[in-house]
Structure 1
Amino acid sequence: MSYQGSGKTPYQGDGRVFGEFRCTKCSRKWMSGNSWANMGQECQSCKVNVYPYKQTPLEKKTSDQDKCDLQKAHLSSLCEKCKILGYNCRSDYH
């Protein structure tokens, strides 16, 4: 995994990672287990593309207290990677 920060996102590898997002327009925050290098997600409130400010390796959910639930539905209509692929980006990476 490469975390050099030489692109639009901190992570510059090929795989899917966990991302933390903050909309610069409305300050809404969210987390996603479907974050990619140089790809953003659309803010549900403002409809602007937001790049993650922090990205870390994916970890499987081990308790109800964990922040990331990989079984939660992915809103592909808000995901830049899904829009480019033309299908849900999680399809190849379960």
Structure 2
Amino acid sequence: MPANPKYLSSNWQRFAKITAGFLGGYFVTISFHLAISFIFNHVNVIITSTYTGFILWAVLMILAFLAKNGWKVWGIYLLLTILFSMIIYVGKIYNPIIS
């Protein structure tokens, strides 16, 4: 019995979901951990990020595949990465010793 066409996505959607899951999830994970390293003790954040980074990356990858539109996921992940990057920038201005 063939698959129902309404459940199949196009090749571009599949590409967007895969790249958003792997690359976008990685960008959000790294920028998030770097942003919180300016709020909390950066040594503790770096040590715990080995575990929490993998968990967050895996969750973001699963969420990318659960979404209907991969390009919207890319947009959300890019906005989150820009937001965390702005927090990093402000953190470097107000606390330049950590950098």
Band of TM-score, shorter chain: under 0.3
Normalised TM-score (structure 1): 0.24
- Structure showing the higher strand proportion among its residues: 1
Larger helix percent:
2
Say which structure, 1 or 2, has more relative contact order (CA 8 Å, 6+ apart).
Answer: 2
TM-score using structure 2 length: 0.24
